[in-house]
């Protein structure tokens, strides 16, 4: 659809130039009237707003007879064909739609204008905070190490570490002085679990966003898979990749060697998780939104097998984990 929209815009740009050329060369004997038309019949805007261009093809005087109060047009009328700038203000509320109606003589043309909203949904966003101050209180150590339920600082939610039933290795959990939860002993199938109680139904088509940073020490698990629970099945949030390691085919979405930011120093530089995901089925109020980061292989960043080093969820003010609603269909 996007490609067709762009092609249509290019076509109308060409027609606009030809129309302008024809008008400039008109000797008064040209009896063939130009059809009244617009370069599109729908115009979507992001919640941040912005400016887009509309091409109006017209045989005579035209004007804007109806428009949403959150849109401005320059100009709102003219004689014959021309390009028009449509400006849409930022939207801090819910998704909105309106009509843009242009009139030329007895003819009208309508454009549906829509804009994504800020999506203020009860219970979101949910944000954790990893700082030295949080560590100093001792509440993170008790919550994660003892209760295995690290609470969010904004909104309601928990982070836990779930051990696969086949993994009999002892998981060593801790919270560092920076407030980072970390552990050692991860094996295939173990995972970090993010859980959020849903207070207002999230309908099918809702677009969510998850963002956090993470890293492994050289001796900790290299390959992980970022997933969300959708209609009873775990689905990948980001693109899946496959690698052959020591005769094993590993399917993963995150490589804590090649996906690191900065200088890509294993153990000190982080990988950035920053992904949208779409719910195919609704999550009703009273249920939970669940995401997880699952260990995809018993292979460490240094190639050792099995891994024994520390893996952590990192972050500070502004970079700690956050889950939010992007849009509601």
Residue 311, pLDDT > 90, answer: yes
* pLDDT bracket for residue 191 (50, 70, 90): very high
The full set of domain ranges for the chain reads 2-23+31-115, 126-327
> What is the C-alpha radius of gyration for the chain, rounded to an integer number of angstroms?
27
Q: What is the mean pLDDT of residues 22-46?
A: 67
CATH of 2-23+31-115, one of 2.60.40.10, 1.50.10.100, 2.60.40.1220, 1.20.1260.10: 2.60.40.10
295 with 187: CB under 8 angstroms? Answer: yes
Summary mean pLDDT of the chain: 87
**pTM of the full structure:** 0.69
The whole-number pLDDT of residue 329 equals 67
- The 3-state secondary structure of 180-193, one letter per residue: CEEEECCCCCCEEE
By CB atoms closer than 10 A (0-12, 13-18, 19+), residue 123 is middle
Please tell me the predicted confidence (pLDDT) of residue 327.
Answer: 80
Q: Each residue of 58-95: pLDDT tens digit?
A: 999 999 999 999 999 999 999 999 899 999 999 887 78
Structure confidence at residue 116 as a pLDDT band (50, 70, 90): confident
Mean pLDDT of 234-241: 97
CB under 8 Å, gap of 24 or more: what pairs does 104-110 form? 104/36, 104/58, 104/59, 104/60, 104/61, 104/62, 104/63, 105/36, 105/60, 105/61, 107/36, 108/65, 109/36, 109/37, 109/38, 109/41, 110/41
CB 173 within 8 A of CB 183: yes
Which two structure tokens, joined as six digits, stand for 234?
């775990």
Q: In what order do the strands lie in the sheet with 77-79?
A: 42-45, 107-115, 96-104, 61-66, 77-79
Lowest model confidence (mean pLDDT) among 10-14, 126-130, 238-242: 10-14
Length of the chain equals: 329
How many other CB atoms are there within 10 angstroms of residue 136's CB atom? 11
pLDDT in tens, 204-232: 999 999 999 999 999 999 999 999 999 99
pLDDT > 70 fraction of the chain, expressed in percent and rounded: 89
CATH superfamily of 126-327: Galactose-binding domain-like (2.60.120.260)
């Amino acid at each position: 659809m996007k490609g067709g929209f762009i092609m249509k815009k290019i076509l109308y740009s060409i027609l606009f130039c030809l129309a302008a050329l024809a008008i400039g060369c008109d000797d008064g004997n040209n009896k063939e009237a130009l059809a009244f038309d617009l370069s599109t019949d729908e115009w979507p805007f992001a919640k941040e707003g912005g400016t887009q261009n509309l091409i109006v093809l017209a045989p005579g005087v035209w004007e804007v007879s109806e428009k949403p109060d959150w849109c401005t047009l320059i100009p709102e009328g003219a004689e014959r064909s021309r390009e028009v700038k449509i400006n849409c203000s930022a939207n801090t509320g819910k998704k909105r739609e309106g009509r843009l109606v242009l009139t030329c003589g007895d003819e009208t043309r309508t454009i549906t204008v829509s804009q994504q909203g800020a999506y203020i949904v009860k219970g979101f966003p949910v944000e954790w905070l990893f700082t030295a101050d949080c560590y100093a209180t001792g509440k993170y150590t008790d919550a994660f190490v003892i209760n295995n339920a690290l609470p969010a600082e904004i909104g309601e939610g928990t982070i836990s570490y779930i051990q696969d039933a086949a993994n009999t290795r002892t998981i060593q959990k801790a919270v560092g002085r920076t407030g980072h939860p970390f552990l050692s002993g991860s094996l295939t199938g173990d995972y970090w679990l993010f859980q959020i109680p849903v207070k207002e139904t999230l309908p099918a088509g809702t677009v969510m966003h998850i963002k956090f940073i993470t890293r492994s020490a050289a001796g900790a698990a290299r390959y992980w898979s970022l997933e969300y629970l959708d209609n009873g099945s775990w689905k990948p949030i980001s693109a899946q990749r496959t690698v052959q390691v020591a005769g094993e085919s590993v399917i993963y979405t995150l490589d804590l060697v090649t996906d690191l930011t900065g200088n890509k120093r294993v153990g000190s530089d982080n990988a950035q998780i920053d992904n949208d995901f779409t719910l195919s089925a609704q999550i009703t109020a009273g249920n939970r939104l669940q995401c997880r980061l699952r260990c995809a292989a018993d292979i460490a960043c240094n190639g050792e097998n099995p891994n024994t080093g520390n893996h952590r969820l990192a972050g500070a003010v502004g970079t700690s984990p956050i889950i939010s609603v992007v849009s509601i269909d």
